[in-house]
Structure 1
Amino acid sequence: MVHKPLGRREDWGFFGPGSPTWKVWGHGPIGLLAFQRSIVVESFDPFLAAAVEDQNGVREYAKSRFNHTIAYFLTVAVADSRTALKASDVLMRIHDRAQGTEPVTQRPYSANDPDSQLWIHVTGWHSNLLMYERYGPGPLTPDEQERYWAQSAIAAELQTCDPAKVPRSRSDVRDYYADVRRRLCMTEHARALIHYFLRAQRSVAGGDMWLGSRLMAPAVIATIPRWMRVLGGFDQPRALDLAALAPTRAAVRAAAHPKILLPLTDRLAPAVRPVMEQKLYGEPPLNPVTLTPAQAREKWGTNAGRDWDAGAAALRRVS
């Protein structure tokens, strides 16, 4: 699928060049590793696992779901405010239809539930930072780390998260994980999803994702807490954790070059290309400022002043 260029940006979005968010999320190949990690970790939430399983998006539209999920997070991080609001609006509409009953607890779930959205958001932002520091350029400075998590809280405003619960520092994130652990478990749905995301089926995901998931899996598993690895049945020896480090760093370093990065995104996540290309080569914005989500909504309106029906229809089949 060919995606149209985004054109000239309206503004610098919510963070802008030089921000730790642009540094981490705009790196490129790190996002592929981070997606695999975050979706595996997220599956330990039984309500999220039930939502994904019941909506059938992974089994039938794996590549499309992968494609649009990565594109959404990157758009919020580095695109202009109007484009980010568009992505948020489409996602919330899709999630409105993802509701049902979790089979283990027999409690209702909703993809737009604030706690589920917060779990997805924190896990995604944490996974990208962790992969950036382990396999990418290296650790952020303490100041950059604090700014990164403060900016994560801003990005969370585009989802249904309760603002009071959003971590705003590295220590807040540690507290959040400690608190949420009590509700995590391994269900039949979660185990099937984790197995799929670590070892994608060629018949469903295609040859690129089939191979990519297997190549990335050892490096991704090495960053996941041991208790999750044991509980989920995907643990690996510590020797393999260490062995994955050097080749993954080398691969990430090579893939970060635009001549490799852009063709790679075309093959694995083509919806990412317009956003990444705009960040790499786009002209300065019409208005070189950053906005808050509230300011952006005031300027563009809830639906960012655009017709969302076509976008919602395109994503409906993968929700």
Structure 2
Amino acid sequence: MSRPRSLADIGGEAALIAGGGRAILLQLAHPAVGHGVANHSDFVSRPLDRLHSTMTFVYAVVDGDRRLVDRVTRAVNASHRRVRSEGDASSPPYNAADPDLQLWVAATLYDTAMGLYERLFGALSPQLADEVYRQYALLGTTLQMPAELWPADRAAFGRYWTEMAGTLQTDAVTRDVARKLLHPTAVPRWVKAGMPLARLVTAGLLNSEQRAMFDLPWSPRRQRRFDRIMRVASSVYPRLPLRLRHAPQRRYLAKLRASVR
């Protein structure tokens, strides 16, 4: 098994897609983001389309050339410009281009990806962990987030994460969005068949307080199943050929290159 050397090596791992549910729920738990998604996003009605758009953006940023990054940046920025609301008594104001909100979204992607990666492969060396952390800022700075908004180092990120964790909350609106995302209807049968496993992994990657925010069921039995899945995955997945593990990244980038041409 080759050793990772950069964000591109780590970000290309297909297994990290399994953390998508955790990242999305943490984003929904930010009141502005959660109501923004509820009021403006088509995540619920078109979950696979939104997943494909997100993965295209992430893969382009972590391993694409300048043309690909420019292409996805223009598309995302154009979409964000149309998504804003003034807010009211039941919903906070929302602007998809707000740098602070983009910071939180990028932070959830980083924290989820690194947590899951280290569950599967073990801890990175401090030097590589620092380098990957600095590179992850690209997920925000590629859009409108100023570079200086990204916490200066991993220790600063830890303080930011702890502070933000104390502000997270849900209500009936955001819990309903989460429920529909975890129990999708407008998806193929093969996706529905995999959702029980996806729900278990998503809940397992959250802590107890976060699960409670979304009324996600948990029990010692579920914890044992989750732990068993992680043990098997950490034993089997790293031994798969790199070409297979990075196959989704290659497909997304190939499709994006074709669209640019």
Q: TM-score normalised by the shorter chain: which range applies?
A: 0.7 to 0.9
Aligned to 1:208: 190
CA contact (8 A) 2:25 2:178 kept: yes
Matches within 5 A, 1:85-234: 85-102=70-87, 106-134=91-119, 136-197=120-181, 199-201=182-184, 203-234=185-216
Aligned AA for 2:190?
A: D
After TM superposition, give the deviation of residue 254 of structure 1 in Å: 7.0
Q: Structure 2 length as normaliser, TM-score?
A: 0.85
Q: 1:176–1:248: structure 2 CA closer, same or farther, 3 Å change rule? A: same
After TM superposition, give the deviation of residue 194 of structure 1 in Å: 2.1
Q: 1:154–1:82: structure 2 CA closer, same or farther, 3 Å change rule? A: same
CA contact (8 A) 1:50 1:103 kept: no
Q: Any idea what the Cα deviations from partners look like across 1:21-74, whole Å, max 9, x if unmatched? A: 0121012222x1122221111110111111211124022211100111111111
Aligned AA for 1:186?
A: T
- Give the distance between the partners of 1:261 and 1:150, measured in 2 at CA: 22
CA contact (8 A) 2:12 2:246 kept: no
- Give the distance between the partners of 2:239 and 2:131, measured in 1 at CA: 28
Identity across the alignment (%)? 15
Structure 1: unaligned runs, 5 residues or longer: 1-16, 266-270, 279-305, 308-319
Aligned to 2:8: 22
**Deviation >6 Å, runs of 4+:** none
Three-state SS of the structure 1 residue aligned to 2:216 is coil
- Give the distance between the partners of 2:117 and 2:253, measured in 1 at CA: 19
Aligned to 1:37: 22
Aligned to 1:10: none
Q: Any idea what the Cα deviations from partners look like across 1:176-217, whole Å, max 9, x if unmatched? A: 1122234321122221222233x332x312223323332233
Number of residue pairs matched by the alignment: 253
Aligned to 1:299: none
Aligned to 1:55: 40
Three-state SS of the structure 1 residue aligned to 2:205 is coil
- Give the distance between the partners of 2:105 and 2:81, measured in 1 at CA: 16
- Give the distance between the partners of 1:28 and 1:239, measured in 2 at CA: 24
